[in-house]
Amino acid sequence: MEDKRIRNLNSFFRHVFGRKVYKVGLWGGFSCPNRDGTLSSEGCAFCNPLSSHPKSFEEGKSITQQLTDGCRYITWRFNVNSFFPYFQDYTTTYGDPAELDALYSEALSYPGVVGLSLCTRPDCLPEPILGYLEDLSRRTFLWVEVGVQTSDDRILRDMNRCHASLDTVNSFNALHARKIFSAAHMIIGYPGSSRETVLADAAFIRETGADGVKLQNLHVVKNTSIEKQFAAGEFELMEMDEYIDMVILFLEHTEPGVVILRLTGEAPDKLTVAPQWSLHKMTILNRIHEEMKLMDTWQGKSLGFSKSAVNLPLENLRTHWRAD
Ligand code: SF4
């Protein structure tokens, strides 16, 4: 029997849809207010948008063509016919609702698509967009992933995020008031972070009530401002062992109803400056699991939850589930 210590995405999809579902990364040609000059032209210190290109990306491909290629591969490789498109470039709620709807609707009309995932910034959910997303969440299983990164305003400033942690709180409140399923993207290991900031971040995410969490290590990518700081020796990156300790600490302080979408992040080899260990995703995942087993720990343990709570149906736990 599987030794489950976290609520992972596969088990969540099986619970919701009764079968295996795979995410398919899409490129919608979006922009970002932190790049187009609205907030800044520099972008976040760690961001190179090319590093989040979906694997099948080719300039000029329509959403349908991208889905055809992505879904065909998934069916061939994993024998799966249910798909969850994920718009992952820049800020995918940054635009006119009618234009966004054209892209999202094209994705939703593709055979086998069972839901939709969008990623955005905390300050890119104005009222008209929220109203539109609420409508969309009645048409499909909508999952909005918010780039939180950290709860520490000092680190947010260093990252040049151009928003504060209060924007994050407001964004989750607004999504949940509309029963929109949410997730938080977090970076572990940014300069200035520590065991204390990881604990503070986990507490912050509990307060937001985020339905899912995506964790990733800081990796230095080419053509970013953090690459220059790294080259100048201004900070050191975490070793893999230290990252694994921080991830486990975060998980132990995360409620068992929260879906863990990812435990590590990587960029394409040719764009990665450091750390090289970030390129070995399976090694990191196996090490996290082995370490949790050795420590006999699990998601939510430090909050007093039993190990079996990661298997409880979501209806028994706190989530923003749209039943209507
Ligand atoms: S990380 Fe997101 S918000 Fe920051 S510059 Fe890149 S696309 Fe924009």
Ligand 1 atom nearest residue 43's Cα: 5
189 lines ligand 1 (CB under 6 A): no
Parse the chain into domains and list their residue ranges.
Answer: 9-309
**34: Cβ below 6 Å to ligand 1?**
yes
Pocket probe mutation, ligand 1, options 90, 145, 186, 219, max atoms within 8 Å of Cβ: 90
pTM: 0.95
d(CA 251, CA 307): 12
On average, the pLDDT of the chain sits at 93
Tell me if the domain spanning 9-309 has CATH number 3.30.750.200. yes
The phi-psi region of residue 90 (left if phi > 0; otherwise alpha if psi is between -120 and 50; otherwise beta) is: left
What average pLDDT does range 73-81 have in this prediction? 95
Distance CA 307, CA 300 (A): 8
pLDDT digits 0-9 by tens, 90-115 = 899 999 999 999 999 999 999 999 99
- The string of pLDDT tens digits covering residues 206-263 is 999 999 999 999 999 999 999 999 999 999 999 999 999 999 999 999 999 999 999 9
Count other C-beta atoms under 10 Å from residue 85's C-beta. Answer: 29
Element housing 178 (H / E): none
Counted residue by residue, the chain has a size of 324
CA dist 220 and 48 (Å) reads 10
Instruction: Say if ligand 1 is within 6 A of residue 147 CB.
Output: yes
Which tokens is 83 given? 């798909």
